[in-house]
Chains A and B, each alone.
Chain A
Amino acid sequence: MKYIDEYRKKDLILGVSSEIKKISKKEISLMEVCGGHTMAIHRFGLSSLLPPNISLLSGPGCPVCVSGQHFIDTAIAYCRQPGIILTTYGDLIRVPGSESSLEKEKAAGKDVRIVYSVLESLEIARKNPGCRIVFLGIGFETTAPLTAAAIVEASRHKLRNFHVLSAHKVMPPVMKALVQDGVKIDGFIAPGHVTAITGTGIYRDLPETFGLGVVVSGFEPVDMMQAILMLVRQIEAGKPGVEIQYQRVVQQEGNLKALKILNTVFRLADDHWRGLGMIPLSGMKLRPRFSAFDIEKVMPLGVPVAAEPKGCICGLILRGLKKPTHCRLFAKKCTPADPVGACMVSAEGTCATYYKYRE
């Protein structure tokens, strides 16, 4: 098995599709939280295989999109300081801040480097003892343990010039915030790789308190169709619960080793989400014992918060309240080549996905 091709078989997808059509009676909205799921749905045209009574909503699971302009402005402010090398995943390089982007700063001669892994940032720190390295920590529970592991490594090897600017976030508070905000959701297609780390315990109160179905899904079309079938079964039976479709990767208890490193390095903190504002305990900041690696502690800059770009409805799109096609900038003033909002920049942003696969 290669664990990919088997999950793209047309016959299987169509078989599951007809089963969904057979049993689905209620008018329901399912939210795919993760940007990777949004991409898969559009890439494989899965909406067209569902009956009209099932709507899919895109959620706030694109870290680049929800991290907002202030994070980019802060990153830019750091890369403009003397003696700083800024390292980042490629996803962030083109995101517009209030007056620049990291790509523009790089073109203007600032030392901004794209890395595939945070481990490369450690290597850069080793090779440049005279510089401070600032790694942009972005991503959910899937990615944050990697940053944590790098900080543990830096601490172990006394690599004092390695620092992190953390915009890491956790998933459950925003899922609850959306429901409390009045977004009509009957069930969540929950993020497979986040849950591979966290385990399913983080979703426990969604069925219990809010009566919502939760199915943790893989990212191939067969996975997603099966996850939708499982949610439909839960909802039609009136028995919402937490189930795992992505059994080959996700275990109920998660990855205990990764969770231990994550909790050793990070603590939960209130955090700002584009379109949703401040959500209590939804972000991850470095614990005090690792403050030597926290650039915000070592070199605080106090970057002011600027207004979001005019006309951009990223915030409403991230809450599942509007679709990209409702935005008057979409595919006109805002395109992947010249994006206004973050949702158009990131490949997994809802706007970029709609743009790529638009009819």
Chain B
Amino acid sequence: MCLAIPAKVLSVDGPLARVIIGDTEYNASLMLLDDVKAGDYIMLHAGFAIQKVDEEEARETIRLLNEVAGYSPDTDEIH
């Protein structure tokens, strides 16, 4: 029920963003989230953008986990 999926913002038109997940495009209402621009990733939940995805934090999480798992980032690069 609380399912939200990361979606890439293609364009913003007033209170509405056009976003893409895989190959499928959706509308995302921006009534609950400010400062969204094309290129951002947002979490899409039942037609609304509910939060942004922070790329820096995402990379940091993976880096920390690679450390725990004993990999060097060079050999296990994330694209």
Contact = CB atoms under 8 A, between A and B. Distances in A.
Interface of A: 1-4, 6-7, 11-12, 14-16, 19, 34-36, 61-64, 89, 91, 116-120, 138-140, 142-143, 145-146, 149, 152-153, 191-194, 196-197, 219, 222, 226, 229, 245, 247-251, 255, 257-258, 261, 346, 348
B32 A3 contact: no
Contacts of B1: 35-36, 62-64, 89, 91, 138-140, 142-143, 346, 348
Contacts, number: 141
Contacts of A19: 68-69
B78 A193 contact: no
B57 interface: yes
A116 B26 CA distance: 11
Contacts of A117: 29, 46-48
Contacts of B70: 15
A181 B48 CA distance: 36
Interface in B1-59: 1-4, 6, 29, 31-34, 41, 43, 45-48, 50-55, 57-59
B51 A255 contact: yes
A1 B59 contact: yes
B66 to A, nearest CB: 7
Contacts of B53: 3, 248-249
Given A3-B58, A149-B32, A248-B58, 16 more contacts: A3-B6, A6-B78, A12-B62, A16-B68, A35-B1, A89-B1, A139-B1, A140-B2, A143-B46, A145-B50, A193-B2, A193-B3, A249-B52, A258-B32, A258-B33, A346-B1
Contact of A249 (B43, B60, B66, B69): B43
Contacts of A146: 32, 45-48
B2 A255 contact: no
Nearest to A148: B32
20 contacts: A1-B55, A1-B59, A11-B71, A12-B65, A14-B69, A15-B71, A89-B1, A116-B46, A116-B47, A117-B48, A139-B1, A143-B2, A143-B45, A143-B46, A146-B48, A226-B65, A245-B61, A249-B43, A249-B52, A261-B31
A119 B29 contact: yes
A149 B41 contact: no
A128 to B, nearest CB: 20
Contacts of A116: 46-47
Contacts of A91: 1
Nearest to B56: A248
B76 interface: yes
Contacts of B76: 11
Contacts of B55: 1, 248
A169 to B, nearest CB: 11
A250 to B, nearest CB: 8
A245 B55 CA distance: 14
A178 B61 CA distance: 31
A143 B44 CA distance: 11
A34 B1 CA distance: 9
A249 B40 CA distance: 12
A193 B43 contact: yes
B47 A255 contact: no
Contacts of B78: 1, 6
A255 B48 CA distance: 13
Nearest to A145: B32
A145 B33 CA distance: 11
A17 B68 CA distance: 10
Contact of B79 (A1, A248, A257, A346): A1
